[in-house]
Structure 1
């Protein structure tokens, strides 16, 4: 080919291949979790479900997530960016369509008598009027404008996926904050129950001393943990108030909106059931992965645009205009004043100092960057899913062990309390047993909250129920990778 003159793109190609998700080893953690999905496949056609947080069965949490989606400022920002991208896509598409422009200039002029100006009509007043219609149709023989328009559309698709990713992040943040809110209530219940038990033991020690069978030391020992328990209770109340403020901010409201929040009523009995097709099905619903696919597609279009710049550009141009310089305004409308022109407009790069090669090389390098980011996103996505599955399963086993530890600690506390009330042991045994029981109960509450959070993290890692669009692009290298250089 000789259309590109002396310019050629030989040696300029992308170098980074995209990695297919199924080429990655999912690991035994995900493979072992997948059979449960096969058993549950008939019961649930889609997984994860779109409103995944409803598995916690807390209406207050449902209302908070809905309010956050409607009122959080980050959502309006993401929506505005998407509207901007769509408008830019429309602008790029307009460049592929014919244009018709009109211009007119109507003026009244006085011609000077000075010979310096060499006026045609010295000393006269005339109308100097012009009007033009210009029609321009880009043939776009090599697709530069079409690829540019499609690139803008692909970028809009990527921003749409980014907007969904922002929404998923917001949903996840609300759920996590609510789970921390719930944990503080659970810890407060433990702290209040502990304080009541400590007060009961103190009162019993005082009755023993009044009856002449106890000592002041026992009363002092029974009173010692009370201030510390009151401080712990106050700290928990502070954490609850801070959580109220955080939840109010997440739904885009002032701190007063958190005052109306009631005690959480979480009911959670969900189990993991992963899709049976691993790992492509796992990461195919993540909005960040979908966004990266669109960005690769958009960058492949950018390579095509730069490649098309090596070829001639041909437009069809037509114009019609009227011009009249006359003392009579109506002469402007006479057919004799109208002129027309029609023909192709051709531009061809001949010598441009390496600008085209540099532009194509930059576009190919940016394509490699996009592919590298996609590969990193795929690897990171699979690791996050495996981590959350592993954590969720481990926390389930830890809860079972913690339940046995609580049963043992409760029995030790009951025996120590019974021995103290009967005068068989001193209060130090009660304190030690109580401290052990309190520690195990707090540990259990935190484990329960961690397991609930791990489930939320897993849902987030899986894309939160985002359905993969039917037109989501496959990652393909741009045509330059198979192209021949222009000679």
Structure 2
């Protein structure tokens, strides 16, 4: 009878290779056959926009666009809001959280080393495994151990997780830019609303003066016996109505000031310190060339949606890698001894090393369900991107069309104001001369007042639409300059995605 022989290194190596091959074969029991996606990113060039968004040689908004409206207070308010609004702080916190996920994912690609020491005071049983002199006595057990482990990531699972985290970090950074753009636009549009209320208040103040003049004329006519107390009371009632309108506008002005203070991230008293707006009229509106193609890198919400798709693609890759075996290398060395005298001697050494293989054989469909969920997330993110792109193009086209419509309407409204102003002037002259009744003056006054309010509201609405258009064009954001350029344009990304989905 022959004695057993110690395994040679060659036989151990052959055994490890055979185990790895067997693991790979067995992993075939769990597979992702038939699970894929056919969703495609919409290319901006594939959408019909030539009539709605023609190239006009205009410029994209710059980051300091607020300074082009001639009011030095506006860019200062925008900067104050970006610095102090809680919305920005929330977006910055999301970036910090995304960075922590990235750092955690990156750590999985590197070996890990740990060290430990333990001391145990224990009494060993005299009737168990340990004979005297150990059994039945109190002993000190000392253990020190240093270990190293490394996940080889043969199928790229950890790399895919890191790439997904990096993409999510880009999403958070683009969301911050979107928050800044939206906040700047909100400040400008609210500031414009304040300017509109002040313009209407000026009209109301002039109207009170006009109606007081008419009341003076009426009093003279009553004394002369040309009018009665009816006309006198009517004139007084019109003055009171105008004064009530002025008080209402003052209340609205205060409310808008409070809204501005909230946008600045300050208390309501900050709004009361804002000086009266002195905004200049907006200039001509000319669209940049290649709006559909360039908008994908000029709108931070589109950039964020594109990076979200990229993150979902890497999540799919990670889920696919779960179907293959995990191979981890681990090694540990240390000392373990009872008592202190032999603790750090060669005889107390303990050493262990070897690979650990984890392979899925039967999981009741858990991995396939997980991959289906990742593909569903991918499909949702693709749909969200397509919706964001379509809505962005519609947003730009809508603002441009509205501005052009107001430009056409403005000339007619101005002519109506000029005519009604002259009619009012003539009516007052005739009334003062006793050639017409008070009713004719009041009718002309109401027409003139309505026409002046219409012109003022149109001017303010046009500037509001200009602010909205600047926001729709990205508010000066540039993905390339911000380090957030997406991996290829939409069409290339769609082709890459389709190739990946079918793999």
Interval of TM-score (by shorter of Structure 1 and Structure 2): over 0.9
1:2-21 to 2 correspondences below 5 Å: 2=25, 4-21=27-44
Deviation at 1:479, TM superposition (A): 5.5
1:19-418 to 2 correspondences below 5 Å: 19-31=42-54, 34-37=55-58, 47-111=60-124, 113=126, 115=127, 121-211=134-224, 214-326=227-339, 329-418=340-429
CA contact (8 A) 2:124 2:130 kept: no
Distance 1:129 1:478 in 2: 59
Deviation at 1:27, TM superposition (A): 4.2
CA contact (8 A) 2:26 2:361 kept: no
Q: Secondary structure at the match of 2:53?
A: helix
Alignment CA distance shift 1:119-1:408 (3 Å): farther
CA contact (8 A) 2:124 2:135 kept: yes
Q: Secondary structure at the match of 1:127?
A: strand
Q: TM-score scaled by structure 1? A: 0.92
Distance 2:210 2:87 in 1: 47
Deviation at 1:361, TM superposition (A): 1.7
Distance 1:94 1:467 in 2: 31
Deviation at 1:360, TM superposition (A): 1.6
Distance 1:189 1:3 in 2: 84
Distance 1:28 1:35 in 2: 12
- The answer to whether 1:433 aligns with 2:444 is yes
Matching residue of 2:501: 481
Q: Secondary structure at the match of 2:147?
A: strand
Deviation at 1:7, TM superposition (A): 2.0
Deviation at 1:410, TM superposition (A): 0.4
Q: Secondary structure at the match of 2:135?
A: coil
CA contact (8 A) 1:245 1:258 kept: yes
Residue deviations 1:266-289, cap 9 Å, x none?
A: 013322222211411134311111
Alignment CA distance shift 1:134-1:478 (3 Å): farther
Residue deviations 1:235-258, cap 9 Å, x none?
A: 000000101111111111111111
Q: How many residues align?
A: 470
Distance 1:58 1:228 in 2: 33
Residue deviations 1:80-131, cap 9 Å, x none?
A: 1110111111101111111001111112223455x37867623423211111
Residue deviations 1:141-168, cap 9 Å, x none?
A: 1100011011011011011111111111
CA contact (8 A) 2:128 2:135 kept: no
Matching residue of 1:40: none
Residue deviations 1:155-213, cap 9 Å, x none?
A: 11011111111111111111111111111100000000000110111112213333555
Q: Secondary structure at the match of 1:203?
A: helix
Aligned with residue 444 of structure 1, among 442, 445, 455: 455
Which deviates further from its counterpart, 329-338 or 287-296? 329-338
Q: Secondary structure at the match of 2:486?
A: coil
CA contact (8 A) 2:81 2:265 kept: yes
Matching residue of 1:41: none
Distance 2:502 2:28 in 1: 21
CA contact (8 A) 1:315 1:344 kept: yes
Q: Secondary structure at the match of 2:327?
A: strand
Q: TM-score scaled by structure 2? A: 0.90
Distance 1:263 1:369 in 2: 47
Deviation at 1:472, TM superposition (A): 1.4
Alignment CA distance shift 1:430-1:304 (3 Å): same
Which deviates further from its counterpart, 291-300 or 342-351? 342-351
Unpaired segments of 5 or more residues in structure 1?
38-43
Residue deviations 1:26-47, cap 9 Å, x none?
A: 141311xx2242xxxxxx5xx1
Which deviates further from its counterpart, 355-364 or 378-387? 355-364
Alignment CA distance shift 1:154-1:428 (3 Å): same
Root mean square deviation of aligned Cα? 1.8
Distance 1:479 1:364 in 2: 14
Distance 1:182 1:415 in 2: 31
